[in-house]
Amino acid sequence: MEEKKGIIVLKDVKKYYLLGLTEVKAVDGISLTIRQGDFVAIMGPSGSGKSTAINLVGSLDVPTKGEIYLDGHNISHLSESDLAQIRGRKIGFIFQQFNLIRNLTAKENVMLPMIFQGTDELERQQKAEELLKIVELGHRMNHYPSELSGGEQQRVAIARALANDPEVILADEPTGNLDTKTGEKVMEFLNKFNNEGKTIVMVTHAPDLALKYADKIYWLKDGKIDKVTKKTNNQWKEVKE
């Protein structure tokens, strides 16, 4: 069987910060490949580098050293404006805090990313309505975030992440602010989109979610990959990256 193409590839990527006179090695030499259609989880204790790693994977940050490839193109040293254009087309983001704009309705929040890609207004409206219906919020599209529950806000965030039909959805603790039942609903939507061909990369503190939904887990420790596990025939095995 032909191997799926690598959409995002990190090669010996490092991200160091200066905290006063101390150098903090948030990510310290990570190499990984995320392939088309994967559902990847990134796990590890607090301070292991998970959030920095997903920011690098999503081109929200640039590496101190190493190379990052998106669809075969080296994006490690692009300008912020070029990175923003690539992110807008290729990657959708879901955050723990939802990050909805409070004075925009659910529909307007979903429409927003399409403005930056030059989509005309009628198409933006139609696409936003269609996506909100897919996440079962067609009846709430004209409500503001303050009028929505946490679970509804996260579903709006999922619809917004899909607005430009990205290849990859990055989810940073997507169930972190939700109760168990609501979190499960959000995960079912992510699983649905993965089954339809979207690539999902998720940071989570919840091993039960990673083990249930992901097909590959990168376990981070002290800014490095401690181990990689992969699910084959519903069995998890440690693999070489």
pLDDT one-digit tens code per residue, 112-169: 999 988 899 999 999 999 999 999 999 999 999 999 999 999 999 999 999 999 999 9
We report the CATH number of the domain holding residue 43 as 3.40.50.300
Q: Are 70 and 7 in contact, with CB atoms under 8 Å apart? A: yes
Asked if the model's pLDDT at residue 2 lies above 70, the reply is: no
Give domain status of residue 1, yes or no: no
Question: For residues 34 and 218, what is the distance between their CA atoms, to the nearest angstrom?
Answer: 11
3-class secondary structure, 60: coil
pLDDT above 90: percentage of residues in the chain: 75
Question: Element (H or E) spanning 217, and its range?
Answer: strand 216-221
- For 184-239, write each residue's pLDDT tens digit: 999 999 999 999 999 999 999 888 999 999 999 999 999 999 999 999 988 999 99
pTM above 0.75, yes or no: yes
3-class secondary structure, 93: strand
Q: Which residue has the higher pLDDT, 63 or 89?
A: 63
- For 105-119, write each residue's pLDDT tens digit: 999 999 999 998 889
Give domain status of residue 144, yes or no: yes
Question: For residues 143 and 145, what is the distance between their CA atoms, to the nearest angstrom?
Answer: 7
Structural domain range at position 199: 6-239
Q: What is the DSSP letter of 3?
A: P
Q: How many structural domains compose the chain?
A: 1
Question: For residues 45 and 149, what is the distance between their CA atoms, to the nearest angstrom?
Answer: 29
Render the burial of 125-145: b for 16+ CB within 10 Å, e for the rest. Answer: bebbbebbebbebeebbeebb
